[in-house]
Structure 1
Amino acid sequence: MKKQTLSMWLGGVMLGLISAAGQAAPWTLEQTLTEAQRYSAALSASRNEAQALDAMADSATQLPDPKLKFGIENVPVQGSNDQRLTREGMTMQRVGIMQSYVSHEKRERKAQTLQAQARGVLAKGEAVRAGLQRDTAQAWLDLALAQQALKTATRLVNETERQFPLQKASVGAGSATPDSVLTLRMALSAMRDKVTLAKRDVQLAQSQLLQLTGQGIDDVGGPLPRYQRLPAEVSQLEEAITRHPEVEAALREAETAKARSAQSAVAALPDVDVEVFYAHRAEGYDDMAGVMFTVDLPLFQSRRQDKDYAADVSRSLQAVDELTLIKRAHIAQVQSLVAQYQAAQALWQRQRDEILPLQHQRLALLTAQYRAGQSELPALLEARRSVLDSELAVNQAEREMARTWAAIQWLIPQELA
C-alpha cells in the first residue's frame, strides 16, 4: 500500500512539474489569439444569441398550439332550477378544441425578421472578434517590446555598476575627486528609475493578457509580425472597409429593419380561430355539437396597421442612413490610422537610424577621452544616460508603431490556423 501511495505521489509531482514547464513556455502570437477567442465570454454570448434567434425563426413558421376548451354553459341562477345542472335543457357540459390559423405569409415574414436579427448578431460578434484580436495582439506586442526595453535598461545599468570599483580605485589613487563617486551613484539611481518603469510596462502588458486570455502569460516567443510596414496599400485598406464587421453589422441592421417593415405590411391580414365543440346535456335532452369561427376585423387599418407600417419604413430608411454614416466613419478611421502609423514609423526610423547611432558615437568618444584623462566623469555619465534614453525612445516609438499596425491589421478579424 505504501509503495502504491509513493508511486501516486511521485506521479503527481511529475505531472505538476510537466504542467508548470508547459505553462512557463513562451506564448506565440497565434497561441495567444487562439486562447483569447476561446476565453471570450462576449463571443460565446453572441453565438448563443444567434442560435436562440435561429431557433425562434424555426418556431415562428409553425401554427400556434391548439387549445382545449371545456366548461359548463347556461347554468340557471334564478327560479326553481337555481344552480341545478340537470333540470334546464339549455345547461350543457361543453368540451372543444380551438386552433388559431395565422397566414403562411405572416409566419414567413416573422421568421425572416428573426433570421435577419440572427445575422445581425453574428455580424456584431465578428466586430467583437476583431476588437478582441486587435487588443490581444497589441498586448502581446507590448509585452514583447517591453521585455526588450527592460533588457536594454538592465544591461546599461549593469555596465554603469561595473564602474563603481574603478571609480573608487581612482579616488583612492588620487586621480579622481571624492564627489565623483556620489555623482556616479546619482546617475545610477536615475538609470534604475528607467528599469523600474520598464518593469512596470512589462507587468501592465502581462495583466492585459491575463484579462484577455485568462492565462498568466509571463513570456512571449516566436517571430514578431512584420509591423515595420503597412499590411496593405492605403487604397486596398479603404476598399476593404466594406468588409469591416461594424459595417457588416450596420448592413444587417438595415436588413432587419426592412424585414420588419415587410412583416408589418401584412399585419392587417386577419387571423382565424376555429373551434369544434361537443356539448352534453341532461338526460332527456339531446346532445349538441358545433363549429365556431373567430375572424379579426381590421376596420381601422389606416389608424393602426398602416401607422405601424409607416413607422417601420421610416426605421428602415434610418438604418440605411446609419449604414452610410458608419461607412464614412470607418473610411476616416482608416485614413487616421494610416496617418498615425506613418508618423510613428518616421519617428521610429529617425530615432533608430539617426539619433541612436549619434548617441553611441558620442558615448564611445567620451569613454575614450575619459580613459585618456581628457574628459570628466559627469560628461561620461550624461552620455550614458542619453544612450539609455535614446534606446528607450526607439523602443517606445517602435511600440507605438506596432500598436497602430495591429489596429490596422485587425480592422477585420483574421482566421487562425
Structure 2
Amino acid sequence: MVPVSMPPLACLVLAGCMLFSAASHGQAALTLDQALRAAQDRSHQLAALHAAAAAAREMAVAAGQRPDPTLRVGLNNLPVDGPDRFSVTRDFMTMRSVAAMQELTGRDKLSARSARFEREAEAAEAARAQALATLRRETAMAWLDRHFQEQMLDLLRALRAEAGLQIEAAEAAYRGGRGGQADVFAARSAVALIDDRLRQTEGQLAVAKTRLARWVGDEARQALGAAPSLAAIRLDEGRVESQLAQQPEIVMLLKQEEIARAEADIAQRNKRPDWSVELMLSQRGPAYSNMVSVNVSLPLPVDPKNRQDRELAARLARVEQARAQREEATRAHGAEIRGWLQAWRSDRNRLAHYDGSLIPLAAERTRAALAAYRGGGGPLAAVLEARRIEIDTRLDRLRLEMDAAALWARLETLVPPGHDTAAPQRPAQPTEQ
C-alpha cells in the first residue's frame, strides 16, 4: 500500500518548531506576568478606589474638628410707631447686637466620627485589594484561555495535514485498484470534520483574544510567551482555614463590619447631647449702657427610648448583620477553595493518566490500524476510526488542561502579590490508576 502519513508526534514537533521560529522573529512575547502588570497599570477601577480611600482619610481629619462658630448680627426692639419710630438710638431698649455661638462637641464624639471615616478609608483599600485580585484572576484566565486555544489550533492543523495525506493515499489506492471509492469519501469526510473543528477553534481563539484585550489593551496583539508551570500553587492547602482571613473578599466584609461598629459607637455617644455657648454684645444709644449676654443651650431628649435608643439598637443590629454575613461568607469561601483544590488535583491526576495511558494507547491503535491497512490486512475505515479516537483523545486532554489551568488561576490569584504564605507546593502527584 502507499504510505499515508508521517507519525503524529513528528507533525506536532514540526508544528511546534515552526511556531517557535515564527515567534522568535516577530514581536516580543507577552508573558503571563507581563499581562498581569499591564492589566494593573491600565485599570481605572484601582485608581478610583485609591481616590476613594484618600477622600475618606481627608474626611477623617475634618470629622475630628469641632463645628465652626456661628456669627449672629441683629437689631432688637426697634420702635415702629410714636415719636421714636425707626430710631436706633432714642429708645433705651433698642439694641444692635453681635453674637458668636460655639457648639462644644465632646472629644469622644469627634474621635468616633473621625474613626468612622478611617474605617471607610480602610474599606476602600480593602475594596481595591479585592478589585486587584479579581483583575489578576480574570487576566490570568483570559491569557490561559488564549494560550490553550492556540495550542488546540496548532494540534488541529497538524492533524489536518495528516488527514490530507490520508486522502491522497486513498485516492492513489482507488486509482490502482487496491481500494474502493467509499474509502476516498470516508477520508474526505474525516478532513471535513477536522476543518469544521478548525473553524470552531479559530472563532474561540478570536473571542479569547478579545477577552484578553479587555484587560491588557493593545498588548494583546503580541504573541504569547511560554506558559508558567501549572503543576504547583503557592497556596498552602494545610493552612486554608487560617489564611481565609487574609483573602480580599473576607477582608472587605471585615472592614464593612468595622464601619458598622464605628456607626454604632457614634450612635452610643450621640445619646449625650452637646452644649452650645453664645456670647452676645448689645449696643444701645449713647445715653444708655451697652450690654453683654451669655447664653448656654442644651438639647433635651424628651423620648430617648423611641429615638436615641432605637437608633442605637438599629446600628447594633447592623453590626450583627455584618458579622453574620462575614462568618457565612468565610465558610462558603473556605469550602469553595477546598473544592477548587480537590478539582485541580483531580485534573492533574487525570492529565497524568492521559499522558501515561490514554494518548499512547490511542496512538498505538492508530499505528496498528495504519500498518494493517498498508499491509492489505485492514480496511481504511479502521484507520479513520482509530485516528478520530486519537484526535478526540488529544483534544479532550487539552480541554482538561484548560480546566486545570482555570482552577490554577483561581488558586494562584488568591494569594496577594508579594505575600507568599508558604513555599510552593510540589506538583500534584498522580494516584495509582
The TM-score with structure 1 as length reference comes to: 0.86
Q: CA deviation at 1:153?
A: 0.6
Alpha-carbon separation, structure 1, partners of 2:246 and 2:236: 16
Kindly indicate whether residue 431 of structure 2 is the aligned counterpart of residue 391 of structure 1: no
Which letter maps to 2:411? I
Kindly indicate whether residue 316 of structure 2 is the aligned counterpart of residue 337 of structure 1: no
1:189 to 189, 192, 196: 192
1:203 to 190, 202, 206: 206
Moved more, 276-285 or 119-128: 276-285
Alpha-carbon separation, structure 2, partners of 1:31 and 1:123: 24
Q: CA deviation at 1:152?
A: 0.5
Kindly indicate whether residue 241 of structure 2 is the aligned counterpart of residue 242 of structure 1: no
User: SS in structure 2 opposite 1:129?
Assistant: helix
Seen in structure 2, the aligned counterparts of structure 1 residues 224 and 28 have a Cα distance that, compared at 3 Å, is: same
User: SS in structure 2 opposite 1:162?
Assistant: helix
1:262 to 262, 265, 269: 265
- 1:305-354 CA-to-partner distances (Å, cap 9, x unmatched) read 22222322232233222222122112211222122223322332222321
Moved more, 88-97 or 331-340: 88-97
- Residue pair 1:191, 1:385 contacting (<8 A) in 2 also: no
Percent of pairs identical after alignment? 28
Which letter maps to 2:207? L
- Residue pair 2:260, 2:319 contacting (<8 A) in 1 also: yes
Gaps of 5+ in 2: 1-23, 421-433
- Structure 1 residue runs of 4 or more that deviate by more than 6 Å after TM superposition: none
1:94 to 70, 92, 97: 97
Q: CA deviation at 1:275?
A: 2.8
Q: CA deviation at 1:392?
A: 0.8
Kindly indicate whether residue 225 of structure 2 is the aligned counterpart of residue 217 of structure 1: no
Which letter maps to 1:105? D
Where do 1:293-372 residues align within 5 Å? 293-372=296-375
Which letter maps to 2:265? A
User: Which residue in the other structure is 1:58 paired with?
Assistant: 61
Alpha-carbon separation, structure 2, partners of 1:332 and 1:322: 15
- 1:99-136 CA-to-partner distances (Å, cap 9, x unmatched) read 22211110001111111122122222222221221111
2:146 to 143, 147, 165: 143
Q: CA deviation at 1:199?
A: 1.6
Seen in structure 2, the aligned counterparts of structure 1 residues 123 and 221 have a Cα distance that, compared at 3 Å, is: same
User: SS in structure 1 opposite 2:294?
Assistant: strand
The TM-score with structure 2 as length reference comes to: 0.83
- Residue pair 1:53, 1:118 contacting (<8 A) in 2 also: yes
Kindly indicate whether residue 140 of structure 2 is the aligned counterpart of residue 105 of structure 1: no
Alpha-carbon separation, structure 1, partners of 2:271 and 2:153: 71
1:114 to 101, 114, 117: 117
Q: CA deviation at 1:83?
A: 4.7
User: Which residue in the other structure is 2:32 paired with?
Assistant: 29
User: SS in structure 2 opposite 1:290?
Assistant: strand
Query: Number of aligned pairs?
Result: 397
Which letter maps to 1:151? D
Which letter maps to 1:235? G
Kindly indicate whether residue 416 of structure 2 is the aligned counterpart of residue 413 of structure 1: yes
Q: CA deviation at 1:22?
A: 12
Q: CA deviation at 1:78?
A: 4.5
Alpha-carbon separation, structure 2, partners of 1:23 and 1:244: 40
- Residue pair 2:153, 2:198 contacting (<8 A) in 1 also: yes
Which letter maps to 2:130? A
Gaps of 5+ in 1: 1-20
Alpha-carbon separation, structure 1, partners of 2:314 and 2:326: 18
User: Which residue in the other structure is 1:172 paired with?
Assistant: 175
1:75 to 75, 78, 100: 78
Which letter maps to 1:264? A
2:47 to 44, 48, 51: 44
Moved more, 131-140 or 251-260: 251-260
Seen in structure 2, the aligned counterparts of structure 1 residues 237 and 221 have a Cα distance that, compared at 3 Å, is: farther
Q: CA deviation at 1:191?
A: 0.7
Please give the root-mean-square deviation of Cα atoms over the aligned residues, in Å.
2.6
Alpha-carbon separation, structure 2, partners of 1:184 and 1:88: 119
Alpha-carbon separation, structure 2, partners of 1:236 and 1:401: 21
